[in-house]
């Protein structure tokens, strides 16, 4: 019997697994990485912390 093959419309056909993965791989990220603190801010905070520790040690030495 020679009957024509009926195909589903293109919108109803299932995409291959590889194609759907490729679409997911190129999706934009919703959450961007948090920005890190600038290097100068870390250096300044570290220097201030060292000064506070030195001042505490000097203060304890003067009291004793």
Global pTM?
Answer: 0.45
Q: Any idea where the domains of the chain sit in the sequence?
A: 37-64
d(CA 41, CA 35): 13
**For 10-60, what is each residue's pLDDT tens digit?**
666 666 555 555 555 565 667 767 778 899 999 999 999 999 999 999 999
d(CA 44, CA 50): 10
């Amino acid at each position: 019997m020679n009957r024509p093959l009926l195909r589903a419309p293109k919108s109803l056909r299932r995409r291959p697994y590889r194609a759907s993965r490729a679409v997911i791989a190129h999706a934009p990220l919703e959450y961007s990485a948090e920005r890190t603190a600038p290097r100068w801010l870390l250096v300044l905070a570290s220097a201030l912390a060292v000064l506070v520790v030195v001042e505490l040690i000097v203060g304890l030495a003067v009291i004793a």
